[in-house]
Amino acid sequence: MLLLFGVLIGRLFCGWVCPFGLAQDVLHKIPGRKFALPEWASSGKYLVLLFMVLLIPFLAGESTMYSFCRICPAATLQVSLPYLISSGFATISAATVVRWGVLIIVIYFAIRSSRSFCKAICPIGAIMALLNYISFVVVRLPKDACVSCQSCDSSCPMNVRPSERAIKEIPVNRTPDCIVCHDCKRACPVVNKRMVNSA
């Protein structure tokens, strides 16, 4: 299903559907000092996918503590928390503490760095990322009338510099970390002017 969705829509799921992506967007609105993750950090999700989703659970069995599913912060928030509350907090174990520790770290980074979990850790994002190159969804910015204002770059939650592809007439979503959110199009003065003119 993931591969089918990925081929059809690339990472559009990440920009428009995933509740954990929305949670990160909301957390990032909390005021404070912000920073962008370095480029190399986005390789992390491929290592998580390879080792903690595929290799280690395959070799050590699904009950291993080193599987990503054991510490997935989305699962902690959306599954473990309701379960913990419904059990009256009677199910706290060492594994629970580790899971909550991971979630707190992810929340901290989400506040400081936009979509940091999506960019550096999420194995679903890693699967979808490569399919951005072949998906049917296309997001374009105008090359002909570009005024090099960089508004698209500064509005991008994944910090993937859409203006670089706009100048080369490449769809801006043809890069692994684009979540197809269209924020760059909304921020572009040329696109906005054309929409006003055509209205």
Residues in contact with ligand SF4 by the rule CB under 6 A: 14, 18, 20-21, 74, 117-118, 122, 124-125, 139, 141, 146-152, 155-158, 160, 162-163, 166, 172-173, 178-184, 187-190
> Given CA atoms 194, 25, 42, 58 in this order, what sign does their dihedral have?
negative
Q: How far is residue 63's CA from residue 61's CA, in Å, rounded to a whole number? A: 6
Nearer to ligand SF4, 57 or 125 (CB): 125
Least distance (Å) from ligand SF4 to the CB of residue 104?
16
Least distance (Å) from ligand SF4 to the CB of residue 197?
15
> Given CA atoms 164, 169, 172, 174 in this order, what sign does their dihedral have?
negative
Residues 178, 172 contacting (CB under 8 angstroms): yes
Nearer to ligand SF4, 50 or 60 (CB): 50
Nearer to ligand SF4, 60 or 195 (CB): 195
Residues 6+ apart with CB under 8 A from 40: none
Least distance (Å) from ligand SF4 to the CB of residue 66?
20
Nearer to ligand SF4, 19 or 92 (CB): 19
Nearer to ligand SF4, 57 or 157 (CB): 157
Least distance (Å) from ligand SF4 to the CB of residue 158?
4
Q: Which long-range contacts (C-beta less than 8 Å, at least 24 apart) are formed by 107-112?
A: 107/27, 107/73, 110/23, 110/24, 110/27, 110/28, 111/27, 111/28, 111/30, 111/32, 112/32, 112/33, 112/34, 112/35
Least distance (Å) from ligand SF4 to the CB of residue 150?
5
Residue 84 phi, psi (nearest 5) = -65, -40
The amino acid that residue 171 corresponds to is: P
